[in-house]
Each structure stands twice: as C-alpha cells, then as structure tokens.
C-alpha cells in the first residue's frame, strides 16, 4: 500500500509530491474527490503529474522539481 501525503495550506491550496505512474494515479484519485472531479482542475493536475512518470530515479525515492 502506498501512502499519499497531501498538505492543505492556509491559503486553501493543496500541496503534494509527484512520483511514479502508480503513485500519481493514487494522487489523481484522491484529488479528484476533493475537487468533485472538476475537468479543468484535473487537467492541470494531470499536466503537473505526467512530467514525473517517465523520469528515472538515480538515487532515492523522491523526484524534485524547481
């Protein structure tokens, strides 16, 4: 089982990390419930998450982006 960590910031924004395709799918499922599956928001989420799915990790288990 993969744990998903989401942080709700004081501004109301949701902070989360991205990872493998399997991890990102679980993140998508959780967030889609939080935003009532809003197509525009989910499109933005998918665009953010997809950038990490084909990345190869050389060391560790976390993908960092700037």
pLDDT in tens, 31-64: 999 889 999 999 998 988 887 776 665 666 666 6
Specify the pLDDT at position 40.
95
Report the sign of the C-alpha dihedral through residues 35, 11, 40, 49, in that order: negative
User: Are 35 and 47 a contacting pair, CB within 8 Å?
Assistant: no
Residue 20 CA to residue 42 CA, distance in Å, equals: 17
Stated pTM of the model: 0.68
Beta bridge partners of 7: 15
């Amino acid at each position: 089982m993969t744990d998903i960590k989401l942080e709700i910031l004081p501004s109301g924004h949701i902070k989360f990390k991205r990872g493998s395709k399997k991890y990102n799918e679980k993140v998508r499922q959780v967030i889609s419930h939080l935003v009532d599956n809003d197509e525009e928001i989910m499109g933005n989420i998918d665009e953010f998450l997809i950038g990490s799915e084909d990345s190869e990790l050389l060391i560790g288990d976390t993908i960092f982006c700037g």
